Amino acid sequence: MTGRICGTGSALPHFRVTNDDLSKIMDTSDEWIRSRTGIETRYLATEETTTSLAVEASRKALENAGVDAAELDVIIAATVTPDKLFPTLSCELQSELGAVNATAFDISAGCSGFLFALNTVQAYIESGCCRKALILGAEVLSKIMDWGDRSTCVLFGDGAGAAVICADETGILKCVQRSDGAKGMALHCYNRPVNNPYKKNPADLDYTHMNGQEVYKFAVRTVPKTISEILAAVDVTPDEVSYFILHQANIRIIESVAKRLHQPMEKFPLNLTECGNISAASVPTLLDKVNRRGLLKKGDKIVLAGFGAGLTWGAAVLTW
Ligand code: ACO
């Protein structure tokens, strides 16, 4: 038995912010953001929460799969921006959806979170302890941005994407997840500081810090290598892959991966132009977009790949 993606869903906040909108509140420009990243707009939560976006995306994925929430054995939410430290986003989701038979837990793996959730569910399915699972990435990254730091805040957006995974004869052919904690400070954000009455010089709340060039180099080196490795492991060539659905951090990273794999950009769908980088939500929201446009045909080979904070990365090749 393997895992098969049998339904997808996504949700975005209603408030859309263009690069020109940002240039009115900080020293930046549409030209700078667009030419360096490919990003044109992003959606930012003003009324939505990580949980409300996750619930909407999950309901759509369950409907798309024709699966009732009570049939779920497992729910895994990938997020670095849950609304609460506890209970977890996945437990709140279980309650909202009425997934009374599921066990629910969160994964924190930055922008690779959805791939880590997929790999985990695959292991559960292979071991025989799960038949139907809901996995999702949901983020309100705007709450961990320093809106005075133009080098990070213009890159990110908010949203959620979900997928229902069912045990089946065909589906995931191979998936991997990897980490390199030694490079973790290239992209980091401290949690709540120690502020008990005995602490000297308590720190302020922290926001996202990124060494953009280091993350860029890591991504262009690691992602094509990992994709090549998993394809070789199952004897599939890049030419046989219909779509490469990559984490949406920067169009230049995606162009570089396409070049290294000798594949045309038409095989690399995008939503970063519209949504910016939504971390764990970027792969599943893009997968949902491609799925709902009817671009995926039964039997197509698809690659999913994520990379980000940790540093972490992961990839999967599957038959649709
Ligand atoms: N608007 C205008 N100018 C800016 C902005 C901005 N929003 N941000 C930075 N600048 C300025 C800088 O101050 C600097 O000015 P200076 O030369 O006078 O000092 C200049 O632009 C160049 O800054 P760099 O940081 O060198 O810009 P770079 O060309 O490296 O592009 C970027 C930055 C887009 C982040 C790039 O490093 C990159 O693509 N990194 C990849 C990592 C990535 O995409 N991360 C996203 C999140 S991580 C993840 O998802 C895994």
**Phi-psi sector, 125: left (phi>0), alpha (psi -120 to 50), beta:** alpha
How far apart CA 122 and CA 175 sit, in angstroms, is 8
Closest by CA position to 111, among listed 252, 283, 228, 257: 283
Whole-number Å distance, alpha carbon 210 to ligand 1 midpoint, is 9
On whether the CB atoms of residues 289 and 271 are closer than 8 A, the answer is yes
Structure tokens at 36: 């360096």
Q: Is 150 in the pocket of ligand 1 (CB under 6 A)?
A: yes
Q: Is 262 a catalytic residue?
A: no
Q: Is 311 in the pocket of ligand 1 (CB under 6 A)?
A: no
Whole-number Å distance, alpha carbon 133 to ligand 1 midpoint, is 38
For residue 201, what pLDDT is reported? 87
- Give the pairing type, strands 2-11 and 41-43: unpaired
For residue 199, what pLDDT is reported? 87
Could you tell me the end-to-end alpha-carbon distance of the chain, in angstroms, rounded to an integer?
Answer: 15
Q: Is 16 in the pocket of ligand 1 (CB under 6 A)?
A: no
How far apart CA 92 and CA 84 sit, in angstroms, is 10
Q: Is 249 in the pocket of ligand 1 (CB under 6 A)?
A: yes
Ligand 1 atom nearest to 252, measured from its CA: 39
How far apart CA 135 and CA 116 sit, in angstroms, is 10
Q: Is 211 a catalytic residue?
A: no
Ligand 1 atom nearest to 153, measured from its CA: 7
* Contacts for 92 with CB less than 8 Å, ≥ 6 apart: 51, 83, 84
Identify the sign of the CA torsion 236, 238, 242, 246.
positive
Q: Is 187 in the pocket of ligand 1 (CB under 6 A)?
A: yes
For residue 285, what pLDDT is reported? 98
Q: Is 201 a catalytic residue?
A: no
Where do the DSSP E strands lie in 190-281? Answer: 209-210, 241-246
Ligand 1 atom nearest to 151, measured from its CA: 8
Residue of 213, 248, 254, 313 to mutate, ligand 1, most atoms within 8 A of C-beta: 213
Whole-number Å distance, alpha carbon 302 to ligand 1 midpoint, is 31
pLDDT in tens, the chain (320 residues): 999 999 999 999 999 999 999 999 999 999 999 999 999 999 999 999 999 999 999 999 999 999 999 999 999 999 999 999 999 999 999 999 999 999 999 999 999 999 999 999 999 999 999 999 999 999 999 999 999 999 999 999 999 999 999 999 999 999 999 999 999 999 999 998 988 889 888 888 999 999 999 999 999 999 999 999 999 999 999 999 999 999 999 999 999 999 999 999 999 999 999 999 999 999 999 999 999 999 999 999 999 999 999 999 999 999 99
Ligand 1: residue whose CA is nearest its atom 7: 150
Q: Is 111 in the pocket of ligand 1 (CB under 6 A)?
A: yes
For residue 75, what pLDDT is reported? 98
How far apart CA 226 and CA 204 sit, in angstroms, is 38
On whether the CB atoms of residues 288 and 10 are closer than 8 A, the answer is yes
Whole-number Å distance, alpha carbon 197 to ligand 1 midpoint, is 39
Q: Is 250 in the pocket of ligand 1 (CB under 6 A)?
A: yes
